[in-house]
Structure 1
């Protein structure tokens, strides 16, 4: 009987200790702050991009090359990627007038990052934004777009926006099409979008595994394509042209996308 009493007391003490040290998870949803997503389409920065908002690091990744004797070196957001990820998540930042500072980390050493640009913006509370970093060379440009979902309320439709981030493309811009399963029919989504330009979100009927194609105005040849296999009713997408005309491989002119909602 005494053994049972001792076991009960020990178990009670263990539970009390666990409760004392338990992680408290907030139950209230975040209801304030501007929402921001960063997209790197600047191909000439090997170290990628790091963004600081009001001097505070926005994009954060695990350092590379960490050892017992070295803290490693910073890792930037790679070209053709977004932060936080290409999914429908945004980071929350304080609203109001903000300073935006861009740096590009060294790729193999612990040397400090190189400052590559700065700008300012005003972010509204509870508003969603996409910040594109584009251009050639080591001094990229920034383009801030407001991601307005307030009128995109149908649960049976899909919404697509096209953004052109090819800096050396034609002045007439590019078109975006959705191709039929056999590739014979091309349905226009947005046309003649110039560099750093963006269409509004276009309402479309839901489709399965669509192939989206980038074309020159009036042309039937695809400059680049991207396939999206995670379509759901009510989905909101941004499809963007990136890369450079005349290049091959990873930095060739083509398409990518991310989920807004």
Structure 2
């Protein structure tokens, strides 16, 4: 009986130590917002598509996820974040000014692009659930987004050939697969006002986000143009 009691106490002690270690481990992970080991997580990418906005960074539940300032027409690339429903905040690179906020759900092992769009008086966030499934052999996959705030009915063309039909401001078209090769991409506002051309080589097996940016009739940094981000 004495041996049984001792064994029981020893087992209970080890069980308690195990639970304590697990609790401390979980607490440490919770206290470290950049530790994703053995956790359910997602990925986020920031594109700054606002011609008026300063360099920006993206936060999820007040945790900085894209460490480098992202200028107009640039992207941060993907960074890990925890899954679940959380607040998404885009701030100036200095962290002093909040530019736009939203609330979003993050599915496990899913990638998202958050676009800062609009003009200074009405900045907002456009969320895109990125489709990173590989295209067919010899193909590239593109998703087209209209992020030009004063546009309407903007198509995406390769020269004079329409690749993606008209999208209004904030429109996110379904992904399409195209033959790999060199393209001269233009956005056409209501079929009349063309953007500046973006000459790109769409590689086989690659996935791209292509977006109309700037202002129809704009000049300089605000010129109506096409941005291209390589998702994968």
TM range (shorter): 0.7 to 0.9
- 2:175 aligned with 1:201, yes or no? yes
CA gap 1:157/1:97 in 2 versus in 1, 3 angstroms: same
Could you tell me which residue of structure 2 aligns to residue 240 of structure 1? 211
Instruction: Tell me if the contact between 2:139 and 2:178 (Cα under 8 Å) persists in the aligned partners.
Output: yes
**Higher relative helix content:** 2
Instruction: Tell me if the contact between 1:130 and 1:147 (Cα under 8 Å) persists in the aligned partners.
Output: yes
- Structure 1 stretches of 5 or more lacking a match? 1-28, 62-75, 85-89, 107-111, 180-185
- Structure 2 stretches of 5 or more lacking a match? 1-36
Structure 2 Cα separation of the partners of residues 217 and 116 of structure 1? 30
TM-score computed with the length of structure 2 as normaliser: 0.77
Could you tell me which residue of structure 1 aligns to residue 71 of structure 2? 78
Deviation at 1:139, TM superposition (A): 4.5
CA gap 1:31/1:96 in 2 versus in 1, 3 angstroms: closer
Alignment RMSD, CA only?
2.1
Secondary structure of the residue that 1:250 maps to in structure 2?
helix
- 2:141 aligned with 1:159, yes or no? yes
1:102 to 85, 90, 108: 90
Instruction: Tell me if the contact between 1:236 and 1:259 (Cα under 8 Å) persists in the aligned partners.
Output: yes
**Higher relative strand content:** 2
Instruction: Spell out, residue by residue over 1:160-215, the C-alpha distance to the aligned partner (whole angstroms, 9 max, x if none).
Output: 22110011113xx2011113xxxxxx2211111011111111111222x2111111
Structure 2 Cα separation of the partners of residues 232 and 223 of structure 1? 23
Deviates more, 1:243-252 or 1:188-197: 243-252
Instruction: Spell out, residue by residue over 1:18-43, the C-alpha distance to the aligned partner (whole angstroms, 9 max, x if none).
Output: xxxxxxxxxxx999521211001122
2:57 to 31, 38, 50: 50
Instruction: Tell me if the contact between 1:116 and 1:138 (Cα under 8 Å) persists in the aligned partners.
Output: no
1:175 to 136, 155, 168: 155
CA gap 1:153/1:32 in 2 versus in 1, 3 angstroms: farther
TM-score computed with the length of structure 1 as normaliser: 0.69
